[in-house]
Chains A and B, each alone.
Chain A
Amino acid sequence: MSEARYIYCIANRDEEKTFGRIGLEKSPVYTIPWKEICVVVHDCVSSPYQSEDQETVRSWLVSHERVIETAWEHFGNVLPLGFDTIVKPDEENDAPENIKKWLMNDYKKLKQKFKKLEGKAEFGVQVFWYPQAIAQKLMETHQQLRNLNKEIQSKPPGMAYLYKQKLDTILRNQMEKEAQRYFEKFYKQIDEKVEEVKVEKVKKSEDEKQMIMNLSCLSPSENSKDLGDDLEKIDKKKEFSVRFTGPWPPYSFVQ
């Protein structure tokens, strides 16, 4: 009944290895070697892992990532695949044969990818700012905002209300400009220190912090201290906060 193979990643070594029951639903994970590479798999049925239950899906995703990290620690250079990558048998071939067919087809591309990712890891960089602090700074330094604020103090209530609407609009525009300016400034700093950068969507803010930049970076694992030092300088500023994660296997740089 386990005619298909769930694929976690492809490793740049032709080793026959078993990893034990670390796969989804505690499935035994092992490798299928081919030429000088191998594929990390577990045996499964020919349908995707799907569930309405969030906890179940979450635990599958955790297992998926944990297997890839284990393989990455062991092999050093792996190409992670997405969740639910399953190779099925067909009338002519069983699943392992289909896997080998696929590897043969994409062999050149795979070797190129391995070469590109050798010795590198993925790092996550998220920069947050404190909108309150930034707005306050703007109110103190921006000429038009300072003037408006002063005028509001001396106006009758109805007028003051309208002036405040005007001030809010200008403040909002200035904040957007500042966010853009800081994004470009930090992006440039980071881009110079790493090999490749992918811009990800920012996540909605939970509290008084707001994410203004979310990057996935590809960089040699040894360079992380250098990048970390730079990010610490940004984090030290009271209006900003930085979240620096990794090293991870290069999930975002396989395509």
Chain B
Amino acid sequence: MAIDINENNLKHGLLGLVIALVEIIRDSLNLQAVKRMEGGGLSEEEVERLGKALQDIDRAIEEVKKEQGITESVESVREGLDDVVDDVFDKLVDPQRWAEENRDV
């Protein structure tokens, strides 16, 4: 299969991957922040500052995606990663399926 690599789409693909990872980290940070907020250890002002900071990160990510035109690219990287994870879990949970798949190889 011929893969057409040029400087442009290599950068594009790499940037898509990087932003996808940044989004995953952002999601994790958001989860942590909500937990801390619910935990009650933060003052109202601290919660407000935390929320705003995360919101700013979110907006920055959306801007980068728009400016670079990589929104679909990022989406497809994340879908691809989801598929890989699903696949691994499926096989862990159902070893029979894994055995069946490898029998015919």
Tell me the A residues contacting B by CB distance below 8 Å.
Answer: 52, 156-162, 165-166, 169, 204
Contacts and interface: CB of A to CB of B under 8 A. Distances in A.
A162 B37 CA distance: 8
B90 to A, nearest CB: 10
B34 A158 contact: no
B51 A162 contact: yes
Given A158-B48, A161-B55, A162-B47, A169 B37 contact: no
Interface residues of B, number: 19
Contacts of B34: 162, 165-166, 169
B11 interface: no
Contact of A158 (B1, B31, B47): B47
Contacts of A166: 34, 37-38
B54 interface: yes
A162 B48 CA distance: 9
A159 B31 contact: no
Interface in B15-42: 30-31, 33-34, 37-38
Contacts of B50: 158, 162
Contacts of B44: 159
A158 B53 CA distance: 8
A255 to B, nearest CB: 11
